[in-house]
Structure 1
Amino acid sequence: MAGPDDSAAEFEALKRLSARVGADPLLVQAAGGNTSIKQGGVLWIKASGTWLMNAERDDIFVPVRLPPLLRAVADIDPAAEKAEAFVVAELNPGGLRPSIETTVHALMPQRAVVHVHCVETISLAVQANAEAVIDERLKGLDWTFVPYRRPGLPLARAIAERRGPATDILVLGNHGLVVAADTVAEAETLLGRVCGLLARTPRAAPEADTGALLRLAAGSDYRLPAQPEAHEAATDLQNCRIAAAGTLYPDHVIFLGEGSAIAGPADTAASVAERAVAEGRAAPVEILFPGKGVLLRRDANAGAEALARCLADVTARVDADVRYLTAEDAHQLINWDAEKYRQDLTRRMGAGLQ
């Protein structure tokens, strides 16, 4: 266990781990995921809208007073939702806001907490049989499954109801993975072990037909994605069917919108966008052309690029019936102030987040 005199070394270790985790698209996408460490009654947690991959380059951690935050969570105080009221202002010169999942980290008693949107975990956590399958794979570990709740206070309360006194692994339905330990090194080891136990071989997908996609994009506000892996959400028809049926996890809603736009046989990018606008909706950020690949709107930011690839990575691993987010789940996310802030920060920082 880390001693009282090694807090600075542990903080540096957290930054290094955060940067490594944040650079792995199978663990974290865009501004998703968060890490934290508890030191002297203060929870240092990743700021909302910042990218873990920049943890060694930028100041992305916010200090939050832990005891009053835990009291607020126990009292179901709305102030716990954003956690801004508990920030140690004099140690936060940049005025950053705590992660929307600060309460999740606060509830874990271990010193170091890592929350990732691990593709291996999500691909199981969206399945209707998730709890049974994961239980078989994580036998002998102290873990618990938490059905989907909106991130923030609702998720924290669900965790408080299900977590055991020594639980150090949380699998969040339609969301991701949390691991916790008393040192950063132990948390990293546990993260690697759990992700390995949950890993599955993705379906091999055909290559994209980029020539056809470029023709379909002609005269429109759409382009090829920067990450060619994103095409696999459409070139594999099973992946495409899974994506077409609904929204799988929160960050898809935040960065790509609710659900997935699937082009018909006679559609072009322009016709799909025109139809959406005529129906009172925004032109989709991403369009899936079954058997061919995907196109992204020209103004799609780095976050959208990352989540387009994530959709392909997740759907390629799903092999059972899926439990999708409901329309109400999506509505809560889209209209939640904390998520509006995160989206706005992503738009303003743009390529600087990469």
Structure 2
Amino acid sequence: MATDADTQELAALRSLSADIGRNPHLTQAAGGNTSLKAADTLWIKASGTWLKDALAEDIMVPVAIPPLLRAVERRDPAADQPQAFAIEALNSRGLRPSIETTVHALMPQRVVLHVHCVDTISLAVQADCEAQVAKRLDGLEWAYVPYRRPGLPLAQGIAERLRPGVDVLILANHGLVVAAETVAEAELLLRRVTQLLARPARKVTGPDFVALTALAGDTCYRLPADVEAHAVAIDPESCRIASGGSLYPDHVIFLGKGSLVARPGEDVKRVVERCGTRPVAILFPGLGVLMRGDASAGADAMQRCLADVTARIDVAARLNYLTAAENDELINWDAEQYRQKLNAAGN
């Protein structure tokens, strides 16, 4: 049974979650998740829900911690299906716990915040990430976790790197985790770490709306929801980086493998003819981006995220892109297909 203190902390977590969810530099679409441990119960954001809705909707799901941790320790595949550990009597909406439930359960601290901070990701995709972060987070207790698929594989990767006192995790090609005993302390730590990892974005000119409209023609393609999304196509270095492949999981889930860059002289119809498919987004170098008309709100958010991340990556850095196998396991993963379905229906 939750105590009054647990209830107050959960209310504080909902408020903080909504603040995080409204900041596109911290999380995008249904990405990112927050949690609070109350005795043997883990209250965690539901899969497919948006943190920005934490105050308007009941998006937190209760999960039984002891059996979930036993499953993780045994490397039981059941741990990759966290809905099996949800406390149904308290889960009135019947939502699935976050894909990252195992990560939150594994962290010993009471409050855990996992964000897809664009500054962190811009470092986490660089081959020299660990060395770069070491300079910035000197004096903090942090750990670097090489890329693993979100869910049980990532939890196992964290378990291999976790040591007493660590309350900050840098997840390669993924994002940031901070943990503390109270919501207030977690918020302060998140603010401190993100400030230390902050890096300036390269400046670009605005998109060419006239040219983009002409390129779209009578197709179903449209402008992105956020004008900031165009920067990835306008800045030559960002466009080059994006053309190299997929950099992090949520890009694959919402936008597909890598990024489609139009060739000189191509309009939307010619791009579609060349590819034999209608990509979610098309980058037109020097001009901007066009989105497929049926692209979800999640896809729009991730297209802006791509612009925000690539604009902060060191142009001379060697990058670690997701491999073909890593792309495929994300696209074919049941948990992510469920999250995509929720986003398509709700947004």
1:328 counterpart = 2:303: no
The residue correspondences of 1:99-118 to structure 2 (distance < 5 A) are: 99-118=98-117
Q: Deviations over 1:96-119 (max 9, x none)?
A: 001000000000000000000000
Tell me, in whole angstroms, the C-alpha distance in 2 between the residues paired with 1:286 and 1:120.
23
Residue among 269, 281, 285 paired with 1:286 = 281
1:211 aligned partner: 210
Tell me, in whole angstroms, the C-alpha distance in 1 between the residues paired with 2:16 and 2:267.
43
Q: Deviations over 1:250-282 (max 9, x none)?
A: 0000110000000001100111122222xxxx3
SS across alignment from 1:321: coil
1:47 aligned partner: 46
**Deviation of residue 227 (structure 1)?**
0.5
Tell me, in whole angstroms, the C-alpha distance in 2 between the residues paired with 1:303 and 1:318.
23
SS across alignment from 1:223: coil
1:6 counterpart = 2:5: yes
How many percent identity over aligned positions?
61
2:22 aligned partner: 23
Amino acid at match of 1:188: E
Tell me, in whole angstroms, the C-alpha distance in 2 between the residues paired with 1:101 and 1:228.
30
Residue among 334, 337, 340 paired with 1:337 = 334
2:66 aligned partner: 67
Residue among 309, 312, 324 paired with 1:317 = 312
1:303 aligned partner: 298
Amino acid at match of 1:115: H
Tell me, in whole angstroms, the C-alpha distance in 1 between the residues paired with 2:273 and 2:50.
34
**Deviation of residue 5 (structure 1)?**
4.3
Runs (5+) with no aligned partner, structure 1: none
**Deviation of residue 4 (structure 1)?**
5.9
**Deviation of residue 315 (structure 1)?**
0.3
Q: Deviations over 1:28-51 (max 9, x none)?
A: 000000000000210000000000
| Contact 1:219–1:270, Cα closer than 8 Å, also in 2 | no
Q: Deviations over 1:180-214 (max 9, x none)?
A: 00000000000000000000111001211111111
Paired residues, number: 344
**Deviation of residue 85 (structure 1)?**
1.6
**Deviation of residue 94 (structure 1)?**
0.8
Tell me, in whole angstroms, the C-alpha distance in 2 between the residues paired with 1:166 and 1:6.
24
Amino acid at match of 2:291: L
Tell me, in whole angstroms, the C-alpha distance in 1 between the residues paired with 2:206 and 2:214.
17
Tell me, in whole angstroms, the C-alpha distance in 2 between the residues paired with 1:5 and 1:35.
20
**Deviation of residue 124 (structure 1)?**
0.3
2:237 aligned partner: 238
Amino acid at match of 1:297: R
1:131 aligned partner: 130
SS across alignment from 2:339: helix
* TM-score scaled by length of structure 1: 0.96
Tell me, in whole angstroms, the C-alpha distance in 2 between the residues paired with 1:344 and 1:127.
31
SS across alignment from 1:63: strand
Q: Deviations over 1:68-122 (max 9, x none)?
A: 1111100001111121121111000111001000000000000000000000100
Amino acid at match of 1:348: A
| Contact 1:221–1:270, Cα closer than 8 Å, also in 2 | no
| Contact 1:287–1:295, Cα closer than 8 Å, also in 2 | yes
| Contact 1:225–1:296, Cα closer than 8 Å, also in 2 | yes
Amino acid at match of 1:339: E
Which stretches of structure 1, 4 residues or longer, exceed 3 Å deviation after superposition?
A: none
Tell me, in whole angstroms, the C-alpha distance in 1 between the residues paired with 2:233 and 2:22.
25
2:249 aligned partner: 250
